[in-house]
Amino acid sequence: MNRPIFLIGFMGSGKTTLGRKLANHLQKEFIDLDQLIVQRVGMSIPEYFEKHGEQQFRIVESQILKEQTASNVVVSTGGGSPCYFDNMEWIVTHGTAVYLHLTPKALHARLQQSKIHNRPALKGLSGDELLQFIEEKLAERTPFYTQAHLHIDQLNTSVEMLSQALA
Ligand code: S3P
């Protein structure tokens, strides 16, 4: 496979963890788009949202996404990356896109245990408000995510199964 692989899906769907494992399994380089943005802008994502606003973040995110053309990489994208500008069209044209699917309930459980403060898009929500936000945001983003070449059930897909499906 001589195209970059992009893992896409909602916040908390495990893109980074699975991306790292997949890259290791396929002996490819792993790139975390959020980390790359942090390095490039020299501050954390919450700080960047605070200082420059989400709109500017989406511009920078799109620019850095579109630099990922190397064939030998697995890229974990941010939850919003495919959903702005022509990013999803670009992803499916330049790479192989894998959508990590999880239900809102499963995402809710995972996000409640994770570092929510690192995710300004969640606006400090918790409990039922968080679940409602996930349901609404996921419904809005699903038309983008489902353009991926491959859809996987995140909870029941091993790295071995995924690499076979990609072969
Ligand atoms: C965002 C998801 C985050 C990060 C930013 C915005 C979103 O990435 O890019 O906080 O809008 O869904 P993760 O999906 O890795 O948490």
pLDDT 10s digits, 127-160: 999 999 999 999 999 999 999 999 999 999 999 9
Q: Cα–Cα distance between 10 and 101 in angstroms, integer?
A: 8
Residue 151 carries which DSSP code? E
Q: Cα–Cα distance between 17 and 46 in angstroms, integer?
A: 21
- Least confident among 5-9, 122-126, 155-159: 122-126
161 Cα: distance to centroid of ligand 1 (angstroms): 26
Residues with CB under 6 A from ligand 1: 11, 34, 45, 78-80, 119-121
Place of tokens 């983008």: 144
Helices 33-41, 45-65: axis angle to 10 degrees equals 110
Could you state, in order of their start, the residue ranges of all structural domains in the chain?
A: 5-166
163 Cα: distance to centroid of ligand 1 (angstroms): 25
From atom 16 of ligand 1, which residue's Cα is the shortest distance away? 11
Q: Report the share of the chain in percent with pLDDT over 90.
A: 90
CATH class assigned to 5-166: alpha beta
Say whether 119 counts as a known binding-site residue: yes
Is 162's pLDDT higher than 80?
Answer: yes
Helices (H), the chain: 15-26, 33-41, 45-65, 87-94, 104-113, 127-145, 159-166
150 burial level (CB within 10 Å; 0-12, 13-18, 19+): middle
Residues 101 and 9 sit within 8 Å (Cβ to Cβ) = yes
Give the pTM: 0.97
What is the phi/psi pair of residue 60, to 5°?
A: -65, -40
Place of tokens 């929510």: 116
Q: Cα–Cα distance between 26 and 108 in angstroms, integer?
A: 30
**Does the predicted interface ipTM exceed a cut of 0.85?**
yes
